Structure 1
């Protein structure tokens, strides 16, 4: 009896503790899945912070590049993004973070302040408020990496000339589907495998 008692106690402890651990893991998994993160990371924001920091350290090796990145962050300050969100926006726009929009074609670039500012100024000229621009950048951060003359302005002109979309209608469209600013192909039903950038989605 003396030899079996410790064994029974130990067995009961295991039986009691294992479900508790499993319960905690399931809760953690559910929470992380809801946030779009893996069960191995405590939260998506922390996961992005680690990735962002590593990317800046690994890619922005030149001091001048780091200063340029900081300047571009400052250009986004008006929209009340966190530093992590600013890094994510710039990263997706300039190929530092993979985006399905670009596919595999986007080269990793260091964003240029004048390019970011010119695009933001042009979007403001379309009667988009800072709150509107915040929504556009959240939905379509890649817009900052699009060509202003050949894509953004050309597409806005096409929307006005071909569909008569301008003013408030244009604003509403851009808030609903800002990716239209970056469309640069039209397969006309004969797929070119560039669906994320095709007018057929319009």
Structure 2
């Protein structure tokens, strides 16, 4: 947008606004050029920009989003961190972990609380959960029944990792909670979610 990338090089005269633009690098002159533009045209561009931003955030249910942020407030995350964690977990922010498969979803506080309670049942304190979510915010968007519980079963039954060892593993590598493929060395291009990384 015209005004946003120029910080504040605007001078208003009557119904027009002078915008200072850098001259082309190919120009024989140095410095800036003064371009007179209507304030109405700048205002229209600003309105269009705002509408696009609002459309992006309107896909979230504000009430549900705020409830979920409230559920995260006990872990000492600031507001920006809460938004980032939920955004990455539920497809509102890009995350390499999901590749292209994660559709935008509105989080549900009930599901969020179930996941947090399950993680607490594994011996993770609130301080531990802060570290897990900081390192792997996508954990809140993983499936409790299809990924987390089966994965913990694999760690306990096949690898014999339980108790304090399990807690230490989850703090070191929380992505193990979301593994959902084992290519056994024959790559299927799902590296961020593959047991081969374990």
> What TM-score do the two structures reach when normalised by structure 1?
0.70
Residues 1:148 and 2:140 are matched in the alignment: no
Return the match for 2:115 from 113, 119, 140: 119
Indicate yes or no: 2:76 matched with 1:105.
Answer: no
How far apart, CA to CA, are the structure 2 residues paired with 1:111 and 1:145? 8
In structure 1, C-alpha distance between the alignment counterparts of 2:156 and 2:90, rounded to whole Å: 28
Q: Structure 1, residues 25-82: CA drift from partner, whole Å, max 9, x if none? A: xxxxxxxxxxxxxxxxxxxxxxxxxxxxx998434437x8100000000000111101
Matched, 1:58 2:63: no
Equivalent of residue 131 in structure 1, options 121, 124, 127: 127
Q: Which residue of 2 aligns with 1:23?
A: none
Moved over 4 A (4+): none
Aligned to 1:79: 75
For 1:171 and 1:184, the matched residues in 2 are separated by 20
Q: Select the structure that is richer in strand.
A: 2
Sort the Cα spacing of 1:165 and 1:109 in 2 relative to 1 into closer, same or farther, 3 A: same
Residue 189 in 1 paired to residue 178 in 2? no
Matches within 5 A, 1:168-179: 168-179=164-175
1:195/1:55 Cα in 2 relative to 1: closer, same or farther (>3 Å)?
farther
Any stretches of 5+ residues in structure 2 without a counterpart? Answer: 1-50
2:87 to 83, 87, 91: 91
Looking at structure 1, the residues matched to 137 and 177 of structure 2 have their Cα atoms a distance apart, in angstroms, of 11
How has the CA–CA distance of structure 1 residues 56 and 157 changed in structure 2, closer, same or farther, with 3 Å as cutoff? farther
SS of 1:142's equivalent in the other structure is helix
Q: 1:68 to 1:55 in 2, by over 3 A?
A: farther
Q: Secondary structure at the match of 2:96?
A: coil
In structure 1, stretches of 5+ residues that fail to align are 1-53
Q: Could you tell me how far apart the structure 2 residues matched to 1:165 and 1:55 are?
A: 48
Aligned-pair Cα RMSD in Å = 1.9
Deviation at 1:185, TM superposition (A): 0.1
